[in-house]
């Protein structure tokens, strides 16, 4: 096994010459890697990224694996000369023919990320979080789930005593932070502080651990509903400095290209660019950055409530898989209205719910099954890898104390009613941290990170959409319907599409186009016959959009 490593990850070759790949690497990508060869050329050895992803070669056997939380990605490609693997997808692309996988695109449209084991190119595949692949004599012989995943099921005779559960959780939280800070000594660390329960919990735990803490929060200016007041309240309570990071449409446009490249794969969530801006500011003052990611998935956050209500009150029988698909709020169910007819013919027989089966096969209460699914899907396939990739590209070490094996295992030994008490989500976590934080922070209603995508897209980014999602470009690409962006903006996909979802879907499409352009795959073409040439408010006030729609 030949391997090259850097702070950004590793790439290697097994039964092949690594130099074949290095010679094909574009200069800009290779400068990022900063290659240092390590002595594994004899065909034996192990390389890993802090236990998050690993490659292990012994004799004629190679094993590639990832940790269940999915913070570090791992990809592989097998050619005639052997097998190559890397923690960055783009490091393998020089080896393959750039043929887009239709199922990967369809999955992205449904989930806002490409579901594993697919990747955007047909010939490159991803190792699923929590799985190991083993090759013997050059052939893939087995795929095996991590024993950790076996703990992510509701255990028999779950803990129901609230007082005991509260004390155990407090101890586990402090131990999780202690494990992730034992090497930091007196270093200054950063915390991404939204003012929500999860990030506030990590902030107070870092402070209790005796670390010097600096907090960073987003300032959306006049857009959206500001959560900054809660971040300020937490920072004042803990007596830590709070840095406000401007997240304006101007800065978003300036950062779009660099952040897209750092993400490696396309991620269609609007939070990606704001995170990039936070990281850029934080890296000027600290090397290690903490976040509160994982709390919603582990403790049954607010996003579970609509699904639980649908499960309890539904009038018509709907499968659990279909219910969960709907929680992504993207383009599932709109297929013929979204994709070009020839593209739709390639994917229409594939059911996106197939990607969810393993994660949804949990045991126990409905809420426990939801928590397992969200950990394995929205956490391990989306939230954690995108956050890690952004941080690695900037040289930051990102740590997520809620991604702790002991804490996660314990969470599935607790009775479901301690997570959702009436309409109060994450009840047990709130009870555990209420002595440490202001009551108005602990017990306030959860809103989520309110990135004002619809306001941006229908306002200052409107003309930019006319370039990225230009009908001529979409037509040339052959994936999306040429008028898709305009139809989304004006509610043309259906009356049930809420205004907030309009911005999310437009951003999903924009992120895909920007990612394609990074690879040099956007086909040139520009049409001036589309609504984006005039302000959105003009069309809304005059009602003339119907005239444009009827003319195409």
**Whole-number average pLDDT of the chain:** 89
The confidence score (pLDDT) of residue 34 equals 46
The fraction of the chain above a pLDDT of 90, given in percent, is 67
Contact of 271 with 503, CB cutoff 8 Å: no
DSSP per residue over 417-453, as a string?
Answer: GGT-BTTBTTHHHHHHHTTTS-HHHHSSPP------H
Mean pLDDT across 183-195: 92
pLDDT for residue 45:
67
Name the more confident of 397 and 24: 397
How confident is the model over 31-62, as pLDDT tens digits? 444 444 444 443 446 788 888 999 999 888 99
pLDDT higher than threshold 50 for residue 88: yes
What is residue 317's predicted lDDT score, i.e. its pLDDT? 59
What is the model's pLDDT at position 352? Answer: 95
pLDDT tens digits, 468-513: 999 999 998 999 999 999 989 987 776 556 777 899 999 999 999 9
Q: Name, in order, each residue with C-beta under 8 angstroms of 471's C-beta and a sequence gap of 6 or more.
A: 482, 483, 485, 486, 527, 529, 530
Q: What is the pLDDT, as a whole number, of residue 43?
A: 44
- Could you tell me if 418 and 427 are in contact, meaning their C-beta atoms sit under 8 angstroms apart? yes
pLDDT for the residue 304: 64
Q: Look at residues 376, 403, 389, 218 and name the one whose alpha carbon lies nearest to residue 292.
A: 403
**Mean pLDDT (whole number) for 232-257:** 97
Q: Taking each helix axis from N to C terminus, what angle separates 102-111 and 499-518, rounded to the nearest 10 degrees?
A: 150
pLDDT at 496: 59
Q: How far apart are CA 370 and CA 386, in angstroms?
A: 22
Half-sphere exposure of 151 (CA within 13 A, CB side): 17
**Per residue, what are the HEC states of 452-520?**
CHHHHHCCCCHHHHHHHCCHHHHHHHCCECCCHHHHHHCCCCCCCCCHHHHHHHHHHHHHHHHHHHHCC
Of residues 15 and 118, more confidence is placed in 118
Residues 521-550 have a mean pLDDT of 77
**What does the pLDDT read at residue 519?**
85
By 3-state DSSP, what share of the chain in percent is helix, strand and coil, each rounded to 5? Answer: 45, 15, 40
pLDDT beyond 90 at 259: yes
Q: At what angle do helices 272-282 and 249-263 cross, to 10 degrees?
A: 90
Distance of CA 243 to the CA centre of its chain: 24
In sequence order, which residues have a C-beta less than 8 Å from that of residue 245 and are 6 or more positions away? Answer: 216, 217, 218, 219, 277, 278, 281
Distances in whole angstroms, Cα of residue 455 to Cα of each of 143, 450, 495, 530? 45, 11, 19, 20
What confidence score (pLDDT) does residue 48 get? 81
Cα 292 to Cα 375: distance, rounded to the nearest angstrom: 14
Supply the pLDDT for residue 171.
Answer: 98
110 within 8 A of 102, measured Cβ to Cβ:
no
The structure tokens listed for 317 are 């029988």
- Residue-wise pLDDT tens digits, 338-385: 999 999 999 999 999 999 999 998 888 888 999 999 999 999 999 999
Spatial separation of the C-alpha atoms in residues 114 and 266, rounded to whole Å = 7
The pLDDT tens digits for 282-325 are 999 999 999 999 999 999 886 666 666 555 555 555 688 888 89
Position 448 scores a pLDDT of: 54
What is the rounded CA–CA span in Å between residue 352 and residue 347? Answer: 10
Contact 455, 504 (CB under 8 A): no
As beta bridge partners, residue 125 has 76
Report the C-alpha gap between 56 and 40 in whole angstroms.
10
CA–CA separation, 423 and 305 (whole Å): 8
* pTM metric for this prediction: 0.94
pLDDT of the residue at 485: 93
Q: Is the pLDDT of residue 28 over 60?
A: no
Q: Are strands 53-58 and 397-399 parallel, antiparallel or unpaired?
A: unpaired
The whole-number pLDDT of residue 465 equals 94
Strand, coil or helix: 3:
strand
């Amino acid at each position: 096994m030949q391997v090259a490593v850097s702070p950004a990850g590793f790439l290697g070759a097994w039964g092949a010459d690594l130099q074949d790949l290095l010679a094909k690497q574009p200069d800009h990508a290779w400068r990022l890697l900063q290659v240092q060869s390590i002595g594994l050329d004899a065909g034996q050895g192990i390389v890993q990224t802090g236990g998050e992803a690993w490659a292990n070669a012994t004799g004629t056997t190679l094993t590639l694996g990832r940790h269940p939380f999915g913070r570090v990605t791992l990809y592989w490609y097998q050619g005639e000369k052997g097998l190559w693997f890397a923690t960055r997808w783009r490091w393998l692309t020089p080896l393959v023919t750039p043929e887009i996988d239709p199922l990967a695109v369809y999955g992205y449209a449904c989930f806002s990320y490409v579901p594993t084991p697919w990747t955007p190119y047909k010939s490159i595949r991803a190792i699923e979080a929590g799985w190991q692949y083993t090759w013997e004599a050059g052939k893939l012989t087995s795929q095996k789930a991590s024993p950790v995943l076996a703990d992510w099921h509701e255990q028999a005779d779950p803990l129901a005593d609230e007082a005991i559960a509260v004390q155990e959780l407090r101890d586990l939280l402090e131990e999780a932070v202690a494990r992730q800070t034992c090497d930091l000594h007196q270093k200054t660390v950063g915390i991404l502080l939204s003012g929500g329960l999860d990030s506030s919990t990590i902030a107070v735990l870092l402070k209790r651990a005796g670390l010097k803490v600096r907090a960073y929060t987003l300032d959306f200016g006049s857009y959206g509903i500001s959560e900054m007041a809660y971040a300020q309240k937490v920072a004042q309570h803990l007596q830590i400095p709070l840095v406000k990071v401007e997240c304006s449409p101007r800065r978003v446009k300036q950062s779009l290209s660099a952040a897209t490249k750092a993400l490696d794969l396309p991620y269609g969530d609007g939070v990606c660019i704001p995170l990039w801006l936070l990281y850029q500011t934080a890296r000027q003052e600290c090397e290690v950055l903490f976040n509160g990611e994982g709390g919603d998935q582990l403790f049954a956050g607010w996003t579970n409530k609509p699904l639980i209500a649908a499960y309890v009150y539904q009038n018509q029988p709907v499968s659990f898989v279909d219910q969960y698909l709907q929680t992504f709020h993207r383009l599932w169910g709109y297929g013929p209205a979204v994709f070009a007819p020839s593209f739709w013919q390639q994917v229409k027989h594939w059911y996106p719910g197939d990607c969810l089966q393993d994660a949804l096969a949990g045991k126990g209460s409905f809420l426990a099954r939801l928590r397992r699914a969200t950990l394995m899907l929205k956490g391990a396939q989306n939230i954690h890898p995108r956050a890690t990739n952004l941080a690695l590209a900037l040289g930051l070490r990102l740590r997520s104390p809620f991604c702790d094996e002991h804490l996660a295992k314990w969470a599935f030994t607790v009775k479901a009613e301690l997570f959702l008490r009436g309409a109060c989500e994450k009840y047990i976590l709130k009870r555990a941290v209420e002595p440490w934080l202001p009551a108005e922070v602990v017990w306030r209603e959860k809103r989520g990170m309110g990135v004002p995508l619809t306001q941006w897209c229908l306002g200052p980014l409107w003309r930019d959409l006319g370039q990225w999602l230009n009908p001529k470009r979409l037509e040339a690409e052959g994936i999306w319907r040429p008028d898709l962006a305009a139809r989304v903006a004006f509610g043309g996909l259906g009356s049930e599409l809420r205004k907030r979802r309009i911005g999310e879907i437009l951003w999903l499409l924009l992120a895909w186009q920007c990612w394609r352009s990074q690879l040099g795959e956007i086909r040139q073409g520009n049409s001036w016959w589309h609504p984006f040439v005039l302000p959105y408010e003009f069309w809304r006030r005059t009602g003339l959009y119907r005239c444009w729609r009827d003319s195409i």
